[in-house]
Amino acid sequence: MHEEVKHPCVQHKLALIRDKDTGHKKFRELATEITMFLCYEALKNVSLKKVKVQTPIATAQCHMIDEDIVVVPVLRAGVGMLDGILGLVPTARVGFVGIYRDEKTKLPVTYYHRLPPQTEGGLCIVIDPMLATGGSTVATLDLLKANGATTIIVVCIVTCPEGLKKVREAHPDVAVYTAAIDDRLNERKYIVPGLGDAGDRLFGTS
């Protein structure tokens, strides 16, 4: 399952983050803002518990999130989305997965992972700005499930049919939330029209 979040604010910010003239400072700000909108939608079905809160006037019957949430940015670009989701769920734990794509084979290579213990019935959220070939995402999902994760969603800013197909075939139980499903991959496996290399644009590298 996948959902393309077409809220006007998301689409407006998506236009800005795509712009080649947007510098790394603004790019980071936009990545954070878009992530908050996407995660707002992705978290709409999390479990709640009833709590009593004492207001200045009286006792209020309220609800609070009752789910163990683990956020996993895929290094390095996924770090640029981390503040966005932690702004919504500051109590979430954070794990990290480092994967790069071999330039010759185009296959994912895992070079680092550090994950919190998984809680049965908890929710794991993978964040990465680009879901392109789907190789890195599938490798991350494989790793998370091997480490005990049972409920996982993926949040990305931009994806394409090829990446969605690969994730769907390998992990049909994982939902993907995105701001845009672009046309295709080019011969270099970049999303078209995409937004360029998200890592370079986030951190001012090339």
Give 88-117 pLDDT, tens digit per residue: 999 999 999 998 877 777 678 889 999 988
Picking from 128, 189, 193, 185, the residue whose alpha carbon sits closest to that of residue 156 is: 128
Residue pair 202/80 in contact by the 8 Å Cβ criterion: yes
Per-residue pLDDT reduced to its tens digit, 141-157: 999 998 889 899 999 99
Question: How many C-beta atoms lie closer than 10 Å to residue 8's C-beta?
Answer: 7
Is residue 205 flagged as an active site residue?
no
Active-site residue identified among 21, 55, 105, 188: 105
Active-site residue identified among 18, 142, 150, 197: 197
Is residue 182 flagged as an active site residue?
no
Pairing of strands 59-65, 2-4: unpaired
Amino acid 121: pLDDT: 75
Is residue 101 flagged as an active site residue?
yes
Active-site residue identified among 93, 119, 151, 200: 200
Adjacent-strand bridge partners of 65: 48
* Mean pLDDT lowest among 16-20, 45-49, 187-191: 187-191
Adjacent-strand bridge partners of 154: 126, 176
Amino acid 4: pLDDT: 94
Confidence of residue 118 (pLDDT cuts 50, 70, 90): confident
What residue ranges define each of the domains in the chain, with the CATH number in brackets? 2-203 (3.40.50.2020)
Active-site residue identified among 101, 119, 150, 151: 101
DSSP strand E in the chain: where? 2-4, 48-54, 59-65, 69-75, 93-94, 96-101, 108-114, 123-127, 130-131, 152-159, 175-181, 184-185, 191-192
Picking from 139, 131, 133, the residue whose alpha carbon sits closest to that of residue 99 is: 139
Is residue 142 flagged as an active site residue?
no
pTM more than 0.85: yes
User: Cis before residue 193, ω within 30 degrees of 0?
Assistant: yes
- Residue type, position 176, single letter: V
